[in-house]
A = this chain, B = another copy of it.
């Protein structure tokens, strides 16, 4: 209903917009640049999208739906909450490692309050709804774990922020200064390391246990 991934002009625009906005942010990208990179003129772009904000929101909505399609199944198995959470974060890490643009766009979305100018346009509502579903899916799993006692009584939103943010950040920053780090920051080993790190957090930092828990929080 929302998308048919044919090589249409609209999809080409969305594809280009995703790459450009991920690289330089909402304010840093002009529509002329997007249109010409997509192979048409700026006027034609406005035939497919009513405004810059609508284009950005439509693009981000598509990215989030892609993410949702991967995270949903992983989080929705019939296993116990810790295993479901671990599987979901594993999948999240896979997606971020495969799609660098997703990581960067997600990071921008999570930490930029006013990246795009507000205004009650319908595309923004749809995008926010998708984002809320994705976040809510993780939220629900952690909440279930807290409810059945497998997780400590942490602040669920804060924990979601910690988990998602840590994953997103690492795959969003490709390099860390040329003279300090010559090679790209993530690779197969980096993905594995991050996976183990998150796994350790879930099973040692978040799970209920007696001592040596590295994390404590007020509710």
Contact = CB atoms under 8 A, between A and B. Distances in A.
Interface of A: 23-28, 104, 107, 110-115, 131-132, 135-136, 139, 157-158, 160-162, 165-166, 169-170, 172-177, 179-181, 185, 189-190, 192-193, 196-197, 199-201, 204-205, 214-218
Give the residue among A136, A170, A177, A216 with the most B Cβ atoms within 10 A. A177
A195 to B, nearest CB: 10
A161 B176 contact: yes
Contact of A180 (B25, B136, B196): B136
A197 B214 contact: yes
Given A189-B217, A215-B196, A175 B113 contact: yes
Nearest to A175: B113
A200 B185 CA distance: 23
A196 B216 contact: yes
Contact of A189 (B114, B172, B214, B218): B218
A197 B206 CA distance: 11
29 contacts: A23-B113, A24-B114, A26-B28, A107-B111, A110-B176, A111-B169, A111-B173, A131-B177, A132-B180, A135-B176, A135-B177, A157-B176, A158-B185, A158-B190, A160-B176, A161-B173, A161-B181, A165-B173, A166-B166, A190-B217, A192-B216, A193-B215, A196-B215, A196-B216, A197-B205, A197-B215, A199-B214, A200-B205, A200-B214
A60 to B, nearest CB: 14
Given A158-B185, A192-B216, A196-B214, 4 more contacts: A25-B28, A26-B28, A132-B177, A135-B176
Contact of A104 (B26, B111, B200): B111
